[in-house]
Amino acid sequence: MENLSLHDAGPPGGPSMQQAPPPVPQLPPQMFTTAAQLLDLTDKKLVVALRDGKKLIGVLRSWDQFGNLVLQDTIERLFCQTLYCDIERGMFLVRGENVLLLGEIDLDKDDYVPDTFEQAPVEKVYALKKQEEQSRKTTDKSKQKKLAELGFEGEHSGEVIF
Amino acid sequence: MLFFSFFKTLVNHEVTVELKNDISIRGTLKSVDQYLNIKLDDIQVVEELKYPHLSSVKNVFIRGSVVRYVHLPANAVDTPLLEDATRREASQTAAKAKQQG
């Protein structure tokens, strides 16, 4: 890994200092990484996709190096066929390993849902979703079984992510 | 650390990241970290209508562990350099193992 120091970035022809600047303690390379990326997203409205397929929309208030997140004013958005609905969830703490991706919502397009989707009552969408998941589980199971017979192991080792 | 360094050379290039849940996201690589978590800007989702939750999103942070492929622009990859770096890293690792063993 490259070791950056203050001297590398000096602009050519910049003011030449007589005295060497006091040594600046160097940040560990990790500081330029996960933390810095999440720092940019703090206090922003995000959509968080989880490993179990849930989509959460909320304001990122806190996080740590493992990607554990705290979301405020969270809603869960369910999509099913051509319908969607929102469920108020409030404060959410997500364990990092369950996070697939974080997307920063463009506030100009806030809450935009493609025209092909229509908002529907929670009960209706929830029931449809449950049905869909049930049938998906059944097909996944039979697929996994057939693969196992051929000596293959599914990519997600039995766990479905989407 | 070799792949981390390699990905750092690709910052600001257009890449397509395919996730293990089959979503493909195209965007400008903004940063990468030691877990190969990836941050993309100005994203565009392939088959957008299948993944409606991403339609109002402009940039994403993708957890490294869910990435299946990263499609790179071929002209941004210096293959001989990468080969050299790989050999160097391999010989270094071997030398270290010898020292300890």
Q: How far is CA A94 from CA A52, A91, B88, in A?
A: 12, 10, 40
C-beta atoms surrounding A61 within 10 Å: 14
Per the prediction, chain B carries an average pLDDT of 90
Cβ-defined contact of B54 to A103 (cutoff 8 Å)? yes
Instruction: State the smallest CA–CA distance between residue B82 and chain A in angstroms.
Output: 14
Nearest CA distance, A13 vs chain B (angstrom)? 27
**Closest partner CB to A1 (pick from B5, B54, B57):** B5
CA distance B60 to chain A (A): 4
The SS3 assignment for A126 reads: helix
Q: Name the one residue in this structure whose structure tokens are 């063993």.
A: B101
pLDDT recorded at residue A4: 56
Contact state of B63 with A100 under an 8 Å Cβ cutoff: yes
Query: All domains of chain B, ordered by start, with CATH?
Result: 1-99 (2.30.30.100)
Strand A118-119 relative to strand B14-19, pairing: unpaired
pLDDT digits 0-9 by tens, A92-122: 999 998 999 999 998 888 778 888 888 889 8
Closest Cα of chain B to A25: distance in Å? 21
SS3 of chain B? CHHHHHHHCCCCCEEEEEECCCCEEEEEEEEECCCCCEEEEEEEECCHHHCHHHCCEEEEEECHHHEEEEECCHHHCCHHHHHHHHHHHHHHHHHHHHHHC
With a CB cutoff of 8 Å and minimum separation 6, the contacts of A161 are: A51, A52, A53, A100, B20, B21, B66
- Give the amino acid at B21: N
Q: Establish, for the pair of chains A and B, how many residue pairs have beta carbons separated by less than 8 Å.
A: 98
Backbone angles phi, psi at B73, to 5 degrees: -70, 125
Residue A99, Cβ neighbours under 10 Å: how many?
24
How confident is the model over A13-68, as pLDDT tens digits? 545 555 667 776 655 554 456 777 888 889 999 999 998 889 999 999 999 888 89
> Which of B29, B57, B66 to mutate: most A Cβ within 10 Å?
B57
- C-alpha B101/C-alpha B98 separation (Å) is 5
- For residue B41 the two structure tokens come to 């800007």
Q: Which residues contact A78 (CB under 8 A, 6 or more apart)?
A: A55, A84, A85, A86, A87, A122, A125, A126, A129
Counting Cβ atoms within 10 Å, is residue A16 exposed (0-12), middle (13-18) or buried (19+)? exposed
Residue position matching structure tokens 């303690």 = A25
Residue B3, pLDDT above cutoff 70: yes
Q: Looking at the whole model, is its pTM more than 0.80?
A: no
- Using CA coordinates, name the residue in chain B closest to A112: B56
ipTM given for this complex:
0.81
Report the chain A residue with the minimal C-alpha distance to residue B7.
A1
Q: Does residue B51 or residue A15 have the better pLDDT? A: B51
- As a whole number of Å, the end-to-end CA separation of chain B is 22
